[in-house]
Structure 1
Amino acid sequence: MQFSILASGSSGNSILVSTEQNKILIDAGLSGKRILEFLSKVGVGGEEIDAILLTHEHVDHIRGAGVLSRRFNIPIFANEGTWLAAAKDLGKIPEANCKIFDGPFSFGSMDIQPFSISHDAADPVGYVIRSGKAQLGIATDMGYVTEEVLQALKGVDHVILESNHDLEMLKMGPYPWSLKKRIMSNVGHLSNDDAGACVVKLAENCTPCIYLAHLSKDNNIPELAFLTVKNTIEDHGLCLNYDIRIEYTYRDRPTALFKAG
């Protein structure tokens, strides 16, 4: 299984996950044109996408989903709460391409486990995707890391994890106080410190590779997110690049194709 984080941030989110048999997108939160541009950078055409899975209905996760679905006849998978909340923004989707799940399901060569996350959306989820021995966890847009999230990610050695903001940058930054409170709340976004604490717990069960995601343009710096997580894991006696590996993701360009398994 291979994957590329095509874009990650408040301006749009999309992740390509591929096996020899199937290629799917987790979210499609940029314009259809932009997603196709980023797919082409990793050698994939829009006609190769077999499905789109939605985590929740916020526009930075669904902006291009309806367009791509109609253009390439791609089914969209989401739980009922997300479908109901996203329907207006997705536009008209043929009934055959409206796929509602209410628990784990399989698609082609992939076994997909949704798990609930704490965010201010109708019924938001993360995913663990498995294909053979390969496994990938996707856990972003969370106000805090619940026990359900930790259990879902237990033993998963590739995890795309939110590290949205530096708390002091957020507090001192330009956002109105109402937005700052929302981001810091239990249905907002994970701070760098939260991400570091989560990584320490994940390392108890495997040697994970962590992909720091959904970094704020205004309230974070990639190097600061990296150092905060690095310092947290080292404070707990863990070693970067031995116990844990850390990779960046980007708002405006795709990562390389990473291999899981």
Structure 2
Amino acid sequence: MRFIVLGSGSGGNAAVVEAGGMRLLVDAGLSAKQLTDRMKASGIEPASINAVLLTHEHGDHVRGLRVLMKQMAAPVYATPSTSMVVRGSGVDTASWKIFESGGSFHFNGLSVHSFAVPHDAVEPVGFVFRHEEKSFGLLSDTGHVTKLISERLRGVGALFVEANYDDALLEADTKRPWSTKQRISSRHGHLSNAQTAALVAELATTGLRRVVLGHLSRDCNCPLTAAKAVRGSLAEVEIVCAEQDKPCGWWE
């Protein structure tokens, strides 16, 4: 099993998970051109994508989907409410596969298990991918870590997780109005470095060994700050940060 983050941040999010001869695109928040260009630069032919999975309907996760679906025949997997909203936005050429939040589905030995997350979207989910003895968790936009999230991610060997903001930098930010700051830090907003650090420390006791941090705010976070906060004293866990403007290479 391996995965690559094509880009992550408020400007657009997308990743590819590969195992068992299957390639799954998770979210399509970059433009279709950026998605195809970055896939090709990473050795992925867009036509080889077997399915697209959506975490939720926000633009930075589905922006390129409408045009991409005119170029690819892969089905789109989404929860009922997410699919309804995205279809209503004009993505009408896709072949939709609907799954209930908490449901599972399988691709040639690669299993995908969804779980509900708290975010200000209609029906957001995270995913755990399993193939043979390997497992990978993906937790994107999330306001706080619930008991369900911790349980579903327990035992994963690798994790992509958002570390959106540093508390002090968000508080000091002058570009965002108070209402926006409140939304970001709310229980249905985004994860801070401190919240992500607590989750990673918990999962490190159950086998987590590789973490890729994503969705870093350009103004209220930075890779060094996020990695330092999340790493803490966890010498056994490798921690790197995904970037907004380019793919970050494959992680096994």
- Aligned partner of 2:219 in structure 1 is 218
Contact 2:20 2:131 in 1 (8 A): no
TM-score, normalising length from structure 2? 0.96
Per-residue Cα deviation, 1:97-126 (whole angstroms, up to 9, x for no partner) = 111012111123310000000100000000
- Aligned partner of 2:87 in structure 1 is 87
- Give me the whole-angstrom Cα distance separating, in 1, the residues matched to 2:16 and 2:90: 19
- Aligned partner of 2:142 in structure 1 is 142
What is the CA-CA distance between 1:227 and the residue it aligns to? 1.1
- Give me the whole-angstrom Cα distance separating, in 2, the residues matched to 1:207 and 1:24: 22
Partner-residue secondary structure (3-state), 1:72 = coil
- Aligned partner of 1:6 in structure 2 is 6
What is the CA-CA distance between 1:165 and the residue it aligns to? 0.3
- Give me the whole-angstrom Cα distance separating, in 1, the residues matched to 2:166 and 2:22: 37
Contact 2:65 2:91 in 1 (8 A): no
- Aligned partner of 2:251 in structure 1 is 258
What is the CA-CA distance between 1:66 and the residue it aligns to? 2.3
Q: CA distance change for structure 1 residues 215 and 207 in 2, over 3 Å: closer, same or farther?
A: same
Gaps of 5+ in 1: none
* 1:46 and 2:46 matched: yes
Partner-residue secondary structure (3-state), 2:106 = strand
> Aligned runs of 1:22-33 on 2, under 5 Å?
22-33=22-33
- Give me the whole-angstrom Cα distance separating, in 2, the residues matched to 1:132 and 1:68: 31
- Give me the whole-angstrom Cα distance separating, in 2, the residues matched to 1:116 and 1:163: 18
- Give me the whole-angstrom Cα distance separating, in 1, the residues matched to 2:156 and 2:208: 9
- Aligned partner of 1:98 in structure 2 is 96
- Give me the whole-angstrom Cα distance separating, in 2, the residues matched to 1:42 and 1:36: 10
> Aligned runs of 1:100-249 on 2, under 5 Å?
100-102=98-100, 103-173=103-173, 174-231=175-232, 234=233, 239-240=234-235, 242=236, 244-249=237-242
**Residue identity in the other structure for 1:72:** M
Deviates more, 1:244-253 or 1:185-194: 244-253
What is the CA-CA distance between 1:90 and the residue it aligns to? 4.5
- Give me the whole-angstrom Cα distance separating, in 2, the residues matched to 1:187 and 1:214: 15
Contact 1:129 1:136 in 2 (8 A): yes
Gaps of 5+ in 2: none
Q: CA distance change for structure 1 residues 114 and 90 in 2, over 3 Å: closer, same or farther?
A: farther
Contact 1:159 1:210 in 2 (8 A): yes
Q: CA distance change for structure 1 residues 250 and 57 in 2, over 3 Å: closer, same or farther?
A: same
What is the CA-CA distance between 1:182 and the residue it aligns to? 0.3
Per-residue Cα deviation, 1:14-40 (whole angstroms, up to 9, x for no partner) = 001112521110001010000011101
Partner-residue secondary structure (3-state), 1:179 = helix
Percent identity reads 36
**Residue identity in the other structure for 2:202:** K
Contact 2:29 2:59 in 1 (8 A): yes
Partner-residue secondary structure (3-state), 1:182 = helix
- Give me the whole-angstrom Cα distance separating, in 1, the residues matched to 2:90 and 2:151: 32
- Give me the whole-angstrom Cα distance separating, in 2, the residues matched to 1:159 and 1:183: 22
- Give me the whole-angstrom Cα distance separating, in 2, the residues matched to 1:26 and 1:72: 14
Per-residue Cα deviation, 1:61-115 (whole angstroms, up to 9, x for no partner) = 0111222222111210001011112212342125xx1110121111233100000
**Residue identity in the other structure for 1:225:** A
TM-score, normalising length from structure 1? 0.92
Aligned-residue Cα RMSD (Å) equals: 1.2
**Residue identity in the other structure for 2:15:** I
